[in-house]
Amino acid sequence: MEGIDKSFAGVSALKQAKLEVKAGEVHALMGENGAGKSTLMKILTGIYSKDNGSIKFDEKEVEFKNPREAQDAGIVIVHQELNMMNHLTVAQNLFIGKENMKGKFINDRANNEQAKLLFKKINIDIDPKEIMGNLTVGRQQMVEIAKAISTDAKVIVFDEPTAALTETEITELFKIIRDLRNKGIGIVYISHRMDEIKQITDRVTVMRDGEYVGTLITEECTKDDIISMMVGRVIYEDPKQTSNVPADAPVVLSVKNLNAGKMVRDVSFELKKGEILGFSGLMGAGRTETARAIFGADPKESGQIFVNGKEVTINNPMDAVNAGIGYLSEDRKRYGVIVQKTVADNSVMANLENYSSGIFINDKKVKKDSKKYVELLKTKTPSVDQYVMNLSGGNQQKVVIAKWLIRDSEILIFDEPTRGIDVGAKSEIYSLMNELVKEGKSIIMISSELTEVLRMSDRVIVMCEGRIAGEFSIEEANQEKIMHSATLRK
Amino acid sequence: MGNNSLKRVFKNMGTQKLIAILALVFIYVFFAVFSSSFRTSNTLISIFDSSYYIGFMAIGVTFVIITGGIDLSIGTVLICSSLIGGVLYEKGLPLALVLICIILIGALFGFINGILVSKFKLPAFIATLGTMMITRGFGSIVTKTKSITYPLRTAEDGWYKSLFRTGPIGNMETGFPTGFIILMVLAIAMAIFLNKTRPGRYILALGSNKEATRLSGVNVVKWETLAYVISGTFAGLAAISYIAIYSTVQPGSGNGFEMDAIAGVVIGGTSLAGGVGSIAGTIIGVFIMSILKVGLPFIGLQPHYQLFITGFVIILAVYADVRNRAKSSKN
């Protein structure tokens, strides 16, 4: 693949991207979140079409219009999210669309036999008659791999295959991958886990911001080489130099040994008054899950939460709101605002009891206060009666902020506050956050953008696989250190 | 292996279907113990009589529910196609052709539903609610709100009634329930179709995970449409069994027929969330419904108690399904 360009609605996702995979090698494709790895792979496998550039497969120029064409040519992808029909059996899943037939009827016996042979070939023991949904995620993934092999694939793309696997399953998977490599199949391996890259791959191609950065031979480079290629030397925005929080500032929020599912394991940290605490890490590191557990949106297994030194019980978001915690979701449209409602309605959503007498809502007061916050936050809206869906992303975010300010929340959790917001609105949100902490509010900011974390935070916590993997004061934090912690397993 | 696969058959069949079979037996025995007149072949034939039209509708709508959709129009399609058929018969069309027309009309409405849902992406609930109202109105329009009466058994064209019962209700000799044989043959044929052919497999697959099925190179629009066509066709078959048993069709009737059928499907273990379902379960569910309907008067309860009790049964059945799903998604 060479010189691949792709843009979505005018926003460039790939610029002159490049990748070369040889038969019989395991080739790692690495890069930060949003570096364009998945987009490039989707173009390769015919899910997206490219704007420019050329794809050569076996020396021949190719262009796949849909996944089927790529499959028929011998390029398949094992997706990160498994694409399975959970209610069907393993063999039924394997052969969907290409069943063995006996006249007009499906020959399930032949399908099961063929599945058994296939599993034997890659040395795994799965009963073809088992219902898919009864298998563990790891086993389901093995079935996906078997499906890929059954099509006589020449190139197999693995998109973060180990994300949901246990230690033994990973060993099993690596054995299969090595077998495939020895059979001359080219393998693209996408992963954030540095150890795995060193362990299984022959070469590494690094991407950044949709561009090709370089290709290294795995044996000849160190983890740090790869990391510095991933983050690059370019600093886009000035990072914060020193913390603005005095060392003796009181602790407003203290979380002790929080556990909630696989993604939140033994998380403990403190948040000081007037602090912006950055939560960094790769996708799926458990940051949002931690925030949701603290906020009571998801159930906790164990752990204590202290607000201003007093232990609080938070079983649901209502408890959290009453404890003075506000949560600004990463998915604004789903969890943050009600887009079919007006600015005024959204602004008071978390605090209706203060705006009603009896069962009736005091519309005048609602409008007066929401107007006040529209002015304070410089929200661009013709009036507070405007429907939120007509506002830009940045202004919608301001409505969410207003909601929690009206509620008088002391602790604000910003989950990806600038996702999907343009550059101008971004810096407005930044200065707003800075003003909020100046007024004595405290902020937890979850962000996948390293530059944003370094620019805004007074302190940085890095999460990896549900655990806190590192903590840095802003003075000592830099992109390399954060990346290092974020890609380290345990 | 034998023991193992037997275990799996039970596991896959689901506790819900097992409970349904036990419930069917229990309800029948219950009525038989408490009422001696319930234990007659006469009553058994009544149970069959009242199960045909709901049974056919239920078999058809099982396919739609397996895709994760719903078809609310089957009851009114039944009435509408019988009414149109009646008008055609009055105009002089031979009865055999009228019966074929009834089935085709059902299939046509099913096709319309299918296209609306699969191609135009309308929510199934809304699309079929629309056709439900359209067919109810249309039935009244073509008959000018007059009721339609099909030929009686003694009439020249009365032969069609013997398709479902050979004579007046009484005992097995004079009025053999041939309809039961038709119902069973079609149920078995459709069960094989669902489990052993490609279209059936694809309907199950797209109900389980539509996107994954599409990515496997399966034409999901086509097979989803087919599920609705099956549903409509069986509503047409249900119409024939309805006129064979009841002779007279009122425009504007048919209210709640679809709910009886859907209830039967759900009691039989087909999941409203899609992906899981069986025809055998549906037939069991339908007979639970008709035994309740016929049996309750025998122990002194009026038929409306059937509604009351069915409501509870449905909630229990769906609750069992929801809990099963929650359990399996945790693993």
Beta-carbon contacts of A469 under 8 Å, excluding residues fewer than 6 positions away, are A281, A462, A463, A485, A486, A488
Q: Is there a contact between B204 and A85 if contact means CB atoms under 8 Å apart? A: yes
Q: Is there a contact between B275 and A130 if contact means CB atoms under 8 Å apart? A: no
Between B197, B209, B276, which is nearest A106 by CB?
B197
* Rounded CA separation A474/B52 (Å): 76
* Rounded CA separation B309/B304 (Å): 9
pLDDT at B3 over 60: no
Interface with chain B: mutation pick from A64, A89, A96, highest number of B CBs within 10 Å: A96
Assess if residue B101 is contained within a domain: yes
- A-contacting residues in B 14-33 (Cβ below 8 Å): none
- What residue of B is the nearest CA neighbor of A88? B205
Assess if residue B188 is contained within a domain: yes
- Give contacts of B276 with chain A, Cβ < 8 Å: 87
* Rounded CA separation B289/B297 (Å): 14
Between B5, B197, B215, which is nearest A83 by CB?
B215
List average pLDDT for each run of 10 residues in chain A, which is 490 residues long.
64 78 90 77 83 84 82 83 83 88 90 90 86 83 83 85 75 87 90 82 87 87 80 59 82 92 90 92 85 90 92 90 87 73 84 78 85 84 83 82 85 85 74 88 89 89 90 87 76
The alpha-carbon gap from B209 to the nearest alpha carbon of chain A, in Å, equals: 5
What pLDDT shows up at residue A282?
Answer: 80
The CB-side HSE value for A17 (13 A sphere, CA atoms) comes to 33
Assess if residue B247 is contained within a domain: yes
Window from A16-20, A337-341, B255-259, B269-273 with minimum mean pLDDT:
A337-341
What pLDDT shows up at residue B2?
Answer: 43
* Rounded CA separation A484/A198 (Å): 14
pLDDT at B1 over 50: no
Q: Is there a contact between B216 and A97 if contact means CB atoms under 8 Å apart? A: yes
B69 touches chain A (CB under 8 A): no
Total of domains in chain B = 1
Average pLDDT, integer, range B153-174: 85
Beta-carbon contacts of B76 under 8 Å, excluding residues fewer than 6 positions away, are B131, B132, B133, B135, B136, B139, B254, B257, B258
Interface with chain A: mutation pick from B215, B271, B325, B331, highest number of A CBs within 10 Å: B215
Assess if residue B208 is contained within a domain: yes
What would the pLDDT profile of B212-242 be if each residue is shown by its tens digit? 888 777 889 999 999 999 999 999 999 999 9
Assess if residue B305 is contained within a domain: no
Assess if residue B279 is contained within a domain: no
Give the residue numbers spanning the domain of B109.
Answer: 51-253
Q: What are the structure tokens assigned to A284, written together? A: 């799926």
What pLDDT shows up at residue B331?
Answer: 41
Q: Which domains does chain A have, with CATH numbers?
A: 2-231 (3.40.50.300), 251-487 (3.40.50.300)
* Rounded CA separation A197/A189 (Å): 8
Q: Is B327 exposed, middle or buried (0-12, 13-18, 19+ CB in 10 A)?
A: exposed
Q: How far is CA A235 from CA A281, A450, A457, B201, in A?
A: 18, 10, 16, 55
Q: Is there a contact between B212 and A134 if contact means CB atoms under 8 Å apart? A: no
What pLDDT shows up at residue A2?
Answer: 65
Assess if residue B291 is contained within a domain: no
Q: Is there a contact between B212 and A136 if contact means CB atoms under 8 Å apart? A: no
Assess if residue B86 is contained within a domain: yes
How many CB pairs below 8 A link A and B? Answer: 64
What would the pLDDT profile of B69-79 be if each residue is shown by its tens digit? 999 999 999 99
What pLDDT shows up at residue B330?
Answer: 46
Closest CA to A402 of A367, A429, A435, A374: A374
Interface with chain A: mutation pick from B6, B208, B325, B328, highest number of A CBs within 10 Å: B208
Residue B313 pLDDT level (bands cut at 50, 70, 90): confident
Instruction: Say whether the ipTM exceeds 0.85.
Output: no
Average pLDDT, integer, range B258-268: 91
What pLDDT shows up at residue A235?
Answer: 44
Alpha helices in A243-355 (DSSP H): 287-295, 317-322, 343-347
Between A67, A88, A129, which is nearest B208 by CB?
A88
What pLDDT shows up at residue A423?
Answer: 63
- Mean of per-residue pLDDT scores for chain B: 88
- What residue of B is the nearest CA neighbor of A68? B217
Between B12, B197, B331, which is nearest A105 by CB?
B197
* Rounded CA separation B265/A40 (Å): 46
Alpha helices in A191-324 (DSSP H): 194-200, 223-231, 287-295, 317-322
Residue B88 pLDDT level (bands cut at 50, 70, 90): very high
